[in-house]
Amino acid sequence: MVRVPPVRPRLLASVPLFRGLDQQGLAAAAAGARLVRAAAGRAFFREGEPAGAFYVLAGGRVKFTQLSAEGPEVILRVIGPGEPFGGVAAFADDATYPVTARAVEPSEAHVWDGANVLALMHRFPVVAINAARVIADRFHDLQRQHRELMTERVERRIARALLRLAEHAGRRVDAGVEIDFPLSRQDLAQMTGTTLFTVSRTLSRWKGERLIITARRRVVIREPHRLVRIAEDLPR
């Protein structure tokens, strides 16, 4: 990772953790931050390393992986700009990172030492309130993911995963909405708790129905509204 010049206060105004801070608060937050960059494929931190810093993604995409009991890494989620990660550093003593955070594409993040975030919470209570909201949102996401894995058909899970990726990393192209980073079928299988065979069969069927376009680890959703109907188990 490469360190670059200090963070400007105005860049933090849209970060969920600092929402509601006045100019003085934003200046204090910026004073304790640094900006780091990671090339595609490089990790901001790895699973099991001491959790020493809190991050907010400023640009790019980051995927979170965890080693499974069998050994291979499992992709848990992908985030885009403005989203926090590594929060365990601010809320737990002697903690380690439970996941690996790896840049999917060239990325940069605002970084604070855990102790610095705690000091900001004491000085500006709105930061503590925002942090609680961030944690609650993440907890609800985990509950939703668990419910989907336990109760929903595989086709719905794959459709939901593609729609979430399109929301976080989609860009309009002539053919529809392209997920704007390389996505393999194995990646999608890991994210949805199914097999490579099942994902390949499902995507091939959707491709034949002209619902999606797949080529060279790229996915374009041609008709998002049809994918929403699958995700919501509505008549097609």
Q: Is the pLDDT of residue 2 over 60?
A: no
* SS3 call for 70: coil
* Mean pLDDT computed over 104-110: 91
Cβ(67)–Cβ(59) below 8 Å: no
Cite the DSSP H helix spans in the chain.
23-31, 88-91, 114-123, 125-151, 154-169, 185-192, 196-208, 224-231
Q: Is the pLDDT of residue 49 over 70?
A: yes
Least confident of 46-60, 136-150, 203-217: 136-150
- Higher pLDDT among residues 5 and 64, named by residue: 64
Mean pLDDT of the chain: 84
Least confident of 59-63, 70-74, 126-130: 70-74
* Mean pLDDT computed over 80-88: 83
